[in-house]
Structure 1
Amino acid sequence: MPVVTRSMPPWWEGNATEPTVALIFRDFVRPGNTVFDVGAFVGDMSFILSRLTGPKGNVVSFEANASTLPQLTENMKSNICNNVFIVNRAIGRKSGHYVNLDSPDLNPAASRVVNYNLGYVPGGIETLALDDFVRETSIVPDFCKLDIEGAEYDAFCGFERTLSLYRTPLVFEHEVGHDDALTFVRELGYETFCSTHYTPVHSSADLLEGSTIRNIVAVHKSRIRETIFGEIDGSRHSRTFKASDANSFEQKGETIFEYNIPTEGGRFVVEAIWGDIDFNSSYMFLETLINNTIIGKYYVDQPTFLTNCRDISLSARSGDQVAVRIGAVSSIGFRAPDSLVLTQVGGIKPRAHTFV
């Protein structure tokens, strides 16, 4: 298995990775907190969590794929993330078993469990139930992020005691159409929401039509008022921008359409909509900029973009200059979306923009 060598931006630069999840981190995580990052990969999210929890906080980064550990370790060291502790285990429903991983060469972040074994197998990764980790270390998370490529349900089965006792808020990746993890946490008394649109999610049917992967925020019913979901007043105000509202330009082989968006501050959801897909691109991207600084970015292949990355959330303060850029690389016939819909989620107060 090849060693993963993807580095991260240095600590003095912004980190625009997974923007909607990063914004949820800023909503929930406070200095001094302890956070579990389950499925840390090379540490993009651990880096953000390290800065948010601060020197008196802790981040426990669980990563099963041994090929990513050297880069994960180096990224944490070079970015001075001294409060991050790395655990090389596959999180599952029971401890002490062994699994094999299928790790695509072109996308090692998508490593999946393919075999589950009761005993040791060559090349296998030992499993760890989070309840066992909490019991053995007395480390209790104030917040937990999980992104383990479809193994979230097994992780929750091994986390049930802790979740029932401490009612830890969660954000986890959800495969649309596979509701076992979603149902599990709801049966523990959690309310679940789309991390991008801030709307209730009872099943996959409540998610953006056509999407295949979403991130879900889960908050126990008893703690809703402590969170942004207790701030939401139910109002939503939308404004639609047409293709003609965009400024277009070419830059380093990219075709870019930029929208300058006046706002009075608050929480916003941006969604790009095309009626017909009559263009072809190697990659597409969606960027949000505040005061000329990129604060969120998706950069993926066209099919992934059109299913899962054409909507994004952002927080802006009154007086901020907000822009949205939609672009394509190596494209044929790429054009601006037929409409760009900006929706303000009523009640949520603006948050700061930086992570450092």
Structure 2
Amino acid sequence: MLMKREAGMTEFAGDFEALFDGAMTRYAFERPSIARWWESHCSEPNVNIALQELVQPGDTCFDVGSFIGGLAIIMARLTGPRGKVVLFEGNQHILSQLTWNMIRSHLTNTFIVNKIIWEESDLNMYLSHNSIAPAASRVCSDEASDPHAIRVGRSLALDDFVAEHSMLPDVVKMDIEGSEYYALRGFKKTISEKKPVLILEQNVGDDRCLELLSDMDYKIFDSAGLHAVRSSNDYLEGTTIRNVIAIHASALGRYNLHNPVQKRKICSLDPLKAEVEVDSQGVVYSTFRMKLSRGRYLFVLSLDAKDCVVASEIWVNGTIQTKFYETAKLFSQDCRDMMALVHKDCEVVYKVLQVQKSSENGYMKINSVDIISIDAPLNFKSRSTLV
């Protein structure tokens, strides 16, 4: 069941843009595949930072819904040669790219499991494949739920995997497009025994995971603002997807998460004072520069945009720390708040980009950018590359 990388498996090399049927932009995929382990990898910003805070050397990590492995590489770096990362990915359309990315990163502590994670093992599973955004493809155990779904294999319950391979996870990242609740139901025995830290993507309005974990004495926090989450009412208004961190009550002291997080808006950036430029590819950059003292900050963007791809970047002391890109609609809903860690007083640069128009009517207008200081309960940690 475990498929370990082999150095000679070069047949898995492929053209990433071709895999996505040419639907993504030049900016989004400026390399043929994701950053290797020794390079900066700063997408999925809030989850990225959470992993850096929570994964420890020697940990066993599960990456459930690995996509092409960007966050798995981060976990592999952090857990080091004494740890291991198991990548669960059931989508055959992206499996070859995931495998190739592990190969080219020369990691020795990653393993791929090509199974669809569900509440029971050995069920026939069906995939509603999204050719425009393969990461958003959804699975189900009932063929009738989508007449166009195709059978893609058998399911696997995480409790069964743990029992068979004796791998008890310390940290679990789970992003499986709305199937997290079913995966957790098949993981309850391990959760009860090991009490791993969980980082989950959640659909706003579906509180089943929150209720299940609360019943198991987990405390849940928003990955961006680090405030407590009890229901969808606690998410940023207007969002449809959020990532949360779930930590068992018995482990809260390890992360200093006893007290409520204190937040304070320190300023609002004036869109009229942004430095605006257009590059040779037609990408429009709106750049804000500021001096910030050591601390943790949340950048909250409000914008109007249509028929384009929007991206945002945060540069700290001359180095890019986080970036994210998405279509205008999804960005304005779900990618508006990005966390930044400032380790010393320095210049911070915040950029908002209009990357590509999909029609002549495409546009982007920045309304405001609020900078919020977070009195963060998670301590800064100094880490070195371990693999």
Q: Would the TM-score normalized by the shorter structure come out above 0.5? A: yes
Name the counterpart of 1:180: 208
Name the counterpart of 1:264: 293
State the shift of 1:333 in Å: 4.8
Determine the C-alpha separation between the residues in 2 that align with 1:269 and 1:355: 26
Name the counterpart of 1:290: 316
1:60 aligns with 2:89: no
Spell out, residue by residue over 1:161-213, the C-alpha distance to the aligned partner (whole angstroms, 9 max, x if none): 11111111100010011111121111111111110111111111111111111
Determine the C-alpha separation between the residues in 2 that align with 1:70 and 1:89: 14
Spell out, residue by residue over 1:290-333, the C-alpha distance to the aligned partner (whole angstroms, 9 max, x if none): 12222211111100100001111111111333111111124555
Work out the number of aligned pairs and report it: 347
Determine the C-alpha separation between the residues in 2 that align with 1:125 and 1:234: 44
Name the counterpart of 2:271: 243
Alignment of 1:59-208 (within 5 A): 59-116=85-142, 123-208=151-236
1:223 aligns with 2:251: yes
- Aligned residues: CA RMSD: 2.2
State the shift of 1:21 in Å: 0.1
Q: Deviating runs (4+, > 6 A) in structure 1?
A: 353-356
Q: Secondary structure at the match of 1:184?
A: helix
Spell out, residue by residue over 1:44-89, the C-alpha distance to the aligned partner (whole angstroms, 9 max, x if none): 1111111111111100000111222211111001011210000011
Contact 1:177–1:204 under 8 Å retained in 2: yes
CA distance change for structure 1 residues 46 and 9 in 2, over 3 Å: closer, same or farther? same
Q: Secondary structure at the match of 2:364?
A: coil
Determine the C-alpha separation between the residues in 2 that align with 1:74 and 1:13: 16
Determine the C-alpha separation between the residues in 2 that align with 1:354 and 1:182: 34
Contact 1:268–1:345 under 8 Å retained in 2: yes
CA distance change for structure 1 residues 52 and 89 in 2, over 3 Å: closer, same or farther? same
Name the counterpart of 2:6: none
Q: Mind listing any 5+ residue stretches in structure 2 that lack a counterpart?
A: 1-15, 21-31, 144-148
Name the counterpart of 1:340: 369
Contact 1:76–1:82 under 8 Å retained in 2: no
Determine the C-alpha separation between the residues in 1 that align with 2:242 and 2:254: 24
Name the counterpart of 1:254: 283
Name the counterpart of 2:27: none
Contact 1:265–1:350 under 8 Å retained in 2: no
Q: Which amino acid aligns with 2:292?
A: T
Q: TM-score, normalised by structure 1?
A: 0.91
Spell out, residue by residue over 1:322-353, the C-alpha distance to the aligned partner (whole angstroms, 9 max, x if none): 11111112455533x33211111114443459
Q: Secondary structure at the match of 2:74?
A: helix
Q: Secondary structure at the match of 1:161?
A: helix
Structure 1 range deviating more: 297-306 or 342-351: 342-351
Q: Which amino acid aligns with 1:33?
A: D
Q: Which amino acid aligns with 1:236?
A: K
Q: Secondary structure at the match of 1:202?
A: coil
Name the counterpart of 1:209: 237
